[in-house]
Amino acid sequence: MQHLTLAASLSAAVLFACILYAESADLNSDKQALLAFAASLPHGRKLNWSSTTPVCTSWVGVTCTPDNSRVHTLRLPAVGLFGPIPSDTLGKLDALEVLSLRSNRLTVDLPPDVGSIPSLHSLYLQHNNLSGIIPTTLSSSLTFLDLSYNTFDGEIPLRVQNLTGLTAILLQNNSLSGPIPDLRLPKLRHLNMSNNNLSGPIPPSLQKFPASSFLGNAFLCGLPLEPCPGTAPSPSPTSPPSVPSKPKKSFWKRIRTGVLIAIAAAGGVLLLLLILVLCICIFKRKKRAEPTAASSSKGKAVAGGRADTPKEDYSSSVQEAERNKLVFFEGSSYNFDLEDLLRASAEVLGKGSFGTTYKAVLEDSTTVVVKRLKEMVVGKKDFEQQMEIVGRIGQHQNIVPLRAYYYSKDEKLLVYDYVPSGSLAAVLQQSYWKSCTGLGDESEDISWCGSWTCSSSRRGRREVHPWEPQIVEHPSVTEP
């Protein structure tokens, strides 16, 4: 009996060891595939990928499964990748679900093994220089396909008809030709095939989409565009021939000229009154805004404004031409761009004299704090100099570091680490609780420990103080 028990225990141990080895081997194969990809493809922004660092917690742009056994997301937007995508690298990531290599300078064909990753459901390759035909071996798990702003040619593969899970197909601004397949995809909600060389009638299954989805294809016809040549309109139901009615004299022709002049004059007067009322409203609004702006900028080297609407989205006035200009500081491990930040869900954390603070959660669950300085009037050069100073100050242990910033004429954004404990005081108190009291129980006397926390916060203040009033007050240092 003891022999049987011992044998069962050994079998269980061997099985457990095999499972651990298999998981380790899978993650190690993912790691080797990513290292081969980085080594074969030049990139402008240096990646911190190394064989000596853990993939799931240290590598920029890489997200693993919850149990850290496989790589399931790879996001490398606008990192300066240049050249063809090497085959037999990314295609080995057979647990990959999201791949984003948009806004780089990738060239030549898309390797078939990349689009055919079995678990891949989102593929973002827009704004590159990829060419050749679209692979016919696309994964049946795809739900979002964006190949826009490349130079793909040839016909749209019929394989797309079988991707019944697709919700978005974005192929605009390529060189695709030939007819559009009849894509009977029940979940399709977003479609754009504009600015290609497509020809022939638009299939009935796609006529529900707006004309903007097909513009820029000179030889496309049918709804929602112009009818195809030689297509007769459907006959109407049989009806008795209409008897020509006696033409009636136009109503307006029967109105006297004097009445028309009076109506025109009244309309002109009404228009002038509306313009006058509008000017008065604008003038009063400016008069009300001037005292607020003056009081908020008093004593500051740089004038700043307070947002009036707490629900205002920090991305509302960022112009399309100024996107992808998020500036990261050295030492930051974040790897997202402005477009990712603007798509993030935002929650207002507070408002101050320099703007509104938001908690932003990105698509890959990265959480940051965004400080919006919308009404600040400062030149770009001065703003960048101030941000460099704030970035250096942020290296102090008692100050939350500034990770990135964005500047435009109408919008300034600051990006900080999100501190889930709530405030700097809470973090300082939690981090050094045991070293202060030696008790580990917050119910005990905390008077001198609280004084230590205040002292730490004041040390952060003193670190900032020598730079005032050269810079905007650091928004992450507050007394407990």
Residue-wise pLDDT tens digits, 290-319? 655 444 443 333 333 333 334 445 544 444
Question: Are residue 25 and residue 139 in the same domain, yes or no?
Answer: yes
Residue-level pLDDT at 402? 83
Q: For residue range 167-176, list pLDDT tens digits in order.
A: 999 999 999 9
Q: Higher-confidence residue: 247 or 209?
A: 209
Query: Which CATH number covers residue 327?
Result: 3.30.200.20
Please state the residue numbers annotated as binding site.
Answer: 380
70 and 206 inside one domain:
yes
Picking from 174, 198, 221, the residue at the C-terminal end of a domain is 221
Write out the residue range of the structural domain in which residue 379 sits. Answer: 320-467
Identify which of 11-25, 186-200, 295-309 has the greatest average pLDDT.
186-200
**Would residue 241 count as lying in a domain?**
no
What is the rounded CA–CA span in Å between residue 414 and residue 371? 5
pLDDT band at 463 (very low <50, low <70, confident <90, very high): low
Name the token pair of 256.
């006297």
Phi then psi for 316, rounded to 5 degrees? -65, -35
Total domains present in the chain: 2
Residues 324 and 217 in one domain: no
236 has pLDDT over 50? no
Q: Which CATH number belongs to the domain containing residue 133 in this structure?
A: 3.80.10.10
207 found inside a domain: yes
Structure confidence at residue 422 as a pLDDT band (50, 70, 90): low
- 325 and 216 share one domain: no
Answer for the pair 153, 178: CB distance below 8 angstroms, yes or no.
no
DSSP 389-429: HHHHHTTSTTSPPEEEEEE-SS-EEEEEE--TTSSHHHHHH
pLDDT of 321 above 50:
no
pTM of the model as a whole: 0.49
Query: How far does Cα 416 stand from its chain's mean position?
Result: 17
| Residue 238 placed within a domain | no
**For all residues of the chain together, what is the average pLDDT?**
76
* pLDDT value of residue 382: 84
290 belongs to a structural domain: no
- The number of angstroms, rounded, from the C-alpha of 22 to the middle of its chain's C-alpha atoms is 35
> What is the reported pLDDT for 192?
97
Continuous H helices in 215-256: none
Could you read off the pLDDT of 54-104 as tens digits, one per residue?
Answer: 999 999 999 999 999 999 999 999 988 999 999 999 999 999 999 999 999
Six-digit token string for 144: 């979002």
User: How far apart are the C-alpha atoms of 393 and 387, rounded to whole Å?
Assistant: 10
Burial class (CB in 10 A: 0-12, 13-18, 19+), 332: middle
Instruction: Give 459's pLDDT tier (boundaries 50, 70, 90).
Output: low
Whether the predicted pLDDT of 35 surpasses 60: yes
325, pLDDT greater than 90 = no
List the single range of 142-146, 162-166, 190-194, 348-352 with lowest mean pLDDT.
348-352
Instruction: Quickly state the pLDDT bin for 253 (edges 50, 70, 90).
Output: low
Amino acid type, 3: H
- Residue positions forming the annotated binding site for ATP: 380
Whether residue 211 is found in the same domain as residue 331 = no
| Amino acid identity for residue 30 in this structure | D
Percent of the chain exceeding pLDDT 70 equals 68
Residues 95 and 202 in one domain: yes
Question: What is the pLDDT averaged over residues 364-381?
Answer: 81
Q: Which of 188, 205, 221 is the last residue of a domain?
A: 221
48 lies in some domain: yes
Is the domain of 463 the same as that of 331?
yes
Which pLDDT score, from 0 to 100, does residue 298 have?
39
Domain-ending residue, one of 221, 243, 258 = 221
> pLDDT grade, residue 366 (50/70/90)?
confident
pLDDT at site 384 = 84
CB atoms within 10 A of CB 402: 25
Q: Is residue 450 part of a domain?
A: yes
For residues 328-353, give the mean pLDDT: 80
Tokens of 35: 């290292």
- Give the Cα separation of 140 and 159 in Å (integer): 9
Looking at the structure, tell me whether residues 178 and 61 fall in a common domain. yes
Q: What is the model's pLDDT at position 394?
A: 64
Q: What is the pLDDT of residues 150-163, one digit of tens each?
A: 999 999 999 899 99
Q: Which carries the bigger pLDDT value, residue 135 or residue 247?
A: 135
Residue 6 lies in a domain: no
Same domain, 327 and 445: yes
Strand order across the beta sheet in which 175-178 lies: 82-84, 105-108, 129-132, 151-154, 175-178, 197-201, 219-221
Tell me which of 51-55, 92-96, 359-363, 419-423 is least confident.
419-423
Q: From the CB of residue 376, how many other CB atoms can be counted at a distance below 10 Å?
A: 19
Whether residue 306 contacts residue 357, with contact meaning beta carbons closer than 8 Å, is answered with no
Alpha-carbon gap, residue 332 to 401, rounded angstroms: 9
* Overall size of the chain counted in residues: 480
Taken in order 261, 262, 263, 265, the sign of the CA dihedral is positive
CA distance 237 to 359: 61
Number of Cβ within a 10 Å radius of residue 253: 6
My answer on whether 344 and 209 are in the same domain is no
Residue 51 within any structural domain of the chain: yes
Torsion angles phi and psi, residue 419, rounded to 5: -100, 105
Residues 65 and 190 in one domain: yes
Runs of H (alpha helix) within 116-231: none
* Confidence at residue 163, expressed as pLDDT on a 0 to 100 scale: 92
Among 377, 361, 465, 458, CA closest to 418 = 361
Band (pLDDT 50/70/90 cuts) for residue 244 is very low
Rounded mean pLDDT, 198-227: 94
What is the token pair recorded at 49? 């990928």
Q: How far apart are CA 221 and CA 202, in angstroms?
A: 6
156 within 8 A of 180, measured Cβ to Cβ: yes
